[in-house]
């Protein structure tokens, strides 16, 4: 293997670990009181879609005030255990009362009076936007374009969700779901397991019924992984379908926000509500002829009949270690697709695992893009420190070093690697040119060669235990058990959707449908058909623990010699990652 290829593979591995996996220091979560009761006025809101809620409110069997009160009480009840919501809107009930008045006056907007929670890296008027970091404590820029769009559709943003701080692009090791302000988010199916990231809080919000639905953001895996791990639906839209303006960035070349919800219907409602051409985001201009304000028109329970679906396995999991645990889920998915009339192409040549160069591109892009965000949206004085807010990446690093009591226990390795670049210069542009176009071509050619309508792959594996050792992180020594397929859609800027697919020892797993650019209508149809045919999702039970095994069913060392060999391999891999 050439040194250049080896370096690319190493950086890709580091990227996957940084963006969607790792561990955190946190006390063991405790039990919660009666968390499975999700009925309001005799209606189980966990099993009710947004269109059904609208019908209930139209017929006066439900009100936005009653619904909002339910979620606010539930946040107070569960948040001490889940650490999922950073901020609650001080105007939530007033907004709900206004929505009920508007409904009485004939307002029929698609999200009227519907409480949602957005990730705390999306600007929202009247609530701080912190990316989980004390460096931005108290920063309150006006609504991002997508927040404006959701509100224009009638949504009530009742709070901000915890996240992996700086979208998990600060340190290595790190913690999926940990932020300085919010602490460690815990997943609701098994409380000591990790919710994946970086939209950890948004995934838990949707799964645990802390709002009707949530909004997350993704650079690579940060919508689909926490959606899969928490048993909900997540959509990573085509780049440009949702505006990126007013969202704390990693890179404008890959970042996008997207909906996270308990069912495909609700995700489709949110998806359409936030589209629109934003003059502050040039990528949204390409929506003309490609975007819709109503994606529920594409929810077809016969969409899979006659479709050709490819199965991507290579590079998404280790077949010898992980295969015996996850492949039965994938086999069930294939059976369901075929039962719905799809032709499934499952071959070794369906492989989208080559995304070399992604991490170096993100490093140089982040240095410029984070400074642009800070200088555009963040000004004044931090109320916690009494100092001016940071305006550059170097100043963020300085803040973390000056405030270890707030920003510990993690290091600044990824920040420092990004700071060592020149930002968005010609070299950076050349790196990106060698990353995104080849992956786009690979997807386009693969789908054309096999005449595919979509590609499916496992979204995630069973959630790993959250590790309280800041020197290791959650997957230290166990990254070979990681399951993920997010990079192809993330790097290409194409769409993908994850839907619940099954459970391993009670831990959710998802299946991702991947398509081409602007393929949301087709993917929503396939995802909806699959969801309706399988009805996989069950609500979380908030079990404290199922034991300490990192990967249920995975082989463990059985003798000292095997254990020593594994330890040696781990040490070597740990060194290689940083070269």
Name the strands in the sheet holding 343-345, side by side, starting at the edge strand that comes first in the sequence: 85-88, 156-161, 115-119, 213-218, 256-261, 233-236, 496-504, 507-514, 454-458, 308-311, 343-345
51 closest CA partner among 237, 267, 205: 267
How far apart CA 231 and CA 234 sit, in angstroms, is 10
303 closest CA partner among 49, 530, 535, 51: 530
Burial class (CB in 10 A: 0-12, 13-18, 19+), 524: buried
Find how far residue 18's CA is from the centre of its chain: 13
Handedness of CA 250, 469, 549, 565 (dihedral sign): positive
242 closest CA partner among 212, 207, 267: 267
Residue with tokens 């290091």: 411
Q: Cα-flanking dihedrals φ and ψ of residue 271, to 5°?
A: -60, -50
Q: Cα-flanking dihedrals φ and ψ of residue 47, to 5°?
A: -105, 15
Q: Supply the angle between the helices 358-377 and 3-20 in degrees, to the nearest 10.
A: 40
Q: Which residues are catalytic?
A: 119, 198, 222
Handedness of CA 426, 431, 433, 436 (dihedral sign): negative
């Amino acid at each position: 293997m050439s040194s250049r290829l080896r370096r690319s593979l190493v950086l890709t591995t580091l990227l996957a670990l940084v963006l969607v996996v790792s561990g955190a220091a946190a006390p063991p979560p405790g039990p919660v009181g009666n968390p499975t009761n999700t009925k309001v006025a005799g209606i189980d809101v966990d099993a009710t879609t947004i269109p059904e809620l609208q019908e209930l409110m139209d017929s006066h069997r439900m009100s936005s005030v009653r619904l909002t009160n339910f979620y606010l009480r539930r946040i107070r009840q569960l948040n001490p255990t889940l650490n999922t919501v950073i901020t609650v809107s001080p105007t939530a009930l007033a907004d709900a009362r206004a929505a009920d008045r508007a409904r009485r006056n004939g307002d029929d907007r698609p999200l009227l009076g519907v409480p949602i929670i957005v990730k705390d890296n999306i600007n929202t008027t009247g609530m701080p936007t912190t990316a989980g970091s004390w460096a931005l404590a108290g920063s309150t820029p006006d609504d991002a374009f997508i927040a404006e769009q959701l509100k224009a559709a009638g949504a009530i943003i009742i709070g901000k969700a915890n996240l992996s701080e700086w979208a998990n692009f600060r340190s290595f090791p790190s913690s999926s779901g940990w932020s300085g302000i919010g602490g460690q988010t815990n997943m609701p199916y098994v409380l000591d397991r990790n919710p994946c990231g970086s939209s950890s809080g948004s995934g838990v919000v949707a799964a645990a019924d802390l709002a009707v639905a949530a909004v997350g953001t993704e650079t690579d895996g940060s919508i689909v992984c926490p959606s899969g791990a928490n048993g909900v639906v997540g959509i990573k839209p085509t780049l440009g379908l949702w505006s990126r303006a007013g969202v704390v960035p990693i890179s404008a070349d890959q970042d996008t926000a997207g909906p996270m919800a308990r069912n495909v219907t609700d995700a489709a409602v949110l998806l359409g509500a936030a589209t629109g051409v934003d003059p502050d985001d040039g990528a949204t201009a390409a929506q003309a002829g490609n975007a819709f304000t109503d994606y529920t028109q594409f929810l077809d329970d016969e969409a899979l009949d006659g479709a050709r679906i490819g199965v991507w396995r290579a590079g998404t999991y280790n077949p010898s270690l992980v295969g015996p645990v996850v492949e039965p889920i994938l086999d069930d998915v294939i059976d369901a697709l075929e039962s719905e009339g799809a032709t499934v192409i499952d071959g070794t040549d369906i492989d989208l695992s080559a995304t070399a160069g992604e991490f170096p591109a993100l490093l140089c892009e982040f240095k410029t893009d984070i400074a642009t965000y800070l200088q555009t949206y963040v000004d004044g004085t931090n109320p916690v420190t009494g100092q001016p807010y940071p305006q550059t990446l170097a100043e963020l690093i300085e803040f973390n070093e000056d405030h270890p009591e707030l920003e510990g226990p993690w290091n600044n390795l990824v920040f420092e690697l990004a700071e060592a670049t020149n930002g968005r210069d010609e070299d950076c542009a050349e790196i990106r040119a060698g990353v995104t176009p080849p992956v786009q071509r690979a997807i386009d050619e693969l789908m054309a060669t096999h005449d595919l309508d979509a590609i499916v792959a496992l979204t995630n594996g069973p959630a790993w235990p959250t590790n309280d050792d800041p020197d290791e992180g959650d997957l230290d020594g166990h990254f070979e058990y990681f399951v993920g397929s997010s990079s192809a859609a993330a790097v290409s800027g194409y769409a993908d959707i994850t839907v619940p697919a099954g459970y391993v020892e009670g831990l959710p797993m998802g299946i991702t449908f991947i398509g081409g650019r602007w393929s949301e209508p087709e993917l929503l149809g396939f995802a909806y058909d699959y969801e309706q045919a399988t009805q996989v999702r069950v609500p979380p039970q908030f079990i404290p623990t199922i034991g300490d095994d990192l990967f249920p069913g995975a082989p463990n060392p059985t003798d000292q010699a095997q254990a020593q060999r594994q330890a040696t391999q781990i040490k070597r891999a740990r060194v290689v990652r940083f070269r």
